[in-house]
């Protein structure tokens, strides 16, 4: 079932379920993905950005090469604001904070791909976070990535001692990764009007 949050002549936003690739991977067994499902309904859709397979939430697709370039440039210039909801292991005492640790791919681990903090060779990565609710042994947080590095939110939260619940790489595996792309703010590629889209967190 494809959940389309927004669809016009220029771009669309789809709610990606967890455990589904955004784009096809290598091998016959990795061809089922959000992009192929979108193409069945909207044949002119073009990929703008990706979410990790285990992450759910808002994913954008363009409906023309011009719109794809426009939206990709907005991402590149960090003009698109994104909010993620996560549940992390442990109780965070502070109400908010900033994580400014450079990241790079771990070349010693190929499968599954892994990233790590490297203050010398890593690329700049910046995340703001805010506590929404504290539980007995977990904390619900809002995460605001200001850069778009692979696994950024997962590595950053693990790096400060609060891995995201259900993370099979940086934490402890569970039924699902408790990370959801809940909202995005962008400029409509043609009209330039500001648009905010939301997909409420399922947890």
Q: Is 145 exposed, middle or buried (0-12, 13-18, 19+ CB in 10 A)?
A: buried
Q: What whole-number distance in Å separates Cα of residue 175 and Cα of residue 33?
A: 20
Other beta carbons within 10 angstroms of residue 27's beta carbon come to 7
Q: CB–CB of 168/143 below 8 Å?
A: no
End-to-end CA distance of the chain: 19
Any catalytic annotation for residue 52?
yes
Determine contact, residues 35/68, Cβ cutoff 8 Å.
Answer: no
Rounded Cα gap, residues 82 and 153, in angstroms: 12
Choose the catalytic residue: 52, 100, 106, 167. 52
Catalytic residues: 52
């Amino acid at each position: 079932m494809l959940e389309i949050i927004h669809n016009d002549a220029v771009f669309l936003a789809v709610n990606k379920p967890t455990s589904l690739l955004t784009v096809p991977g290598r091998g016959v067994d990795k061809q089922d993905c959000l992009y192929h499902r979108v193409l069945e309904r909207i044949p002119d859709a073009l990929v703008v950005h990706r979410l990790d397979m285990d992450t759910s939430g808002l994913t954008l697709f363009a409906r023309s090469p011009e719109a794809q370039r426009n939206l990709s440039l907005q991402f590149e210039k960090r003009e698109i604001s994104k909010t993620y909801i996560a549940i992390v292991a442990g109780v965070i005492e502070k109400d908010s904070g900033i994580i400014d640790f450079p990241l790079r791919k771990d070349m010693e681990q190929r499968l599954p791909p892994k990233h790590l903090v490297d203050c010398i060779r890593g690329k700049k990565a910046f995340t703001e976070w805010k506590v929404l609710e504290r539980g007995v042994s977990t904390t619900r947080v809002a995460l605001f990535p200001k850069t778009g590095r692979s696994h950024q939110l997962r590595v950053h939260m693990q790096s400060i001692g609060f891995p995201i619940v259900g993370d099979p790489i940086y934490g402890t595996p569970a039924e699902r990764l408790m990370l959801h792309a809940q909202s995005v703010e962008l400029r409509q590629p043609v009209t330039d009007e500001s648009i905010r889209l939301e997909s409420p967190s399922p947890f």
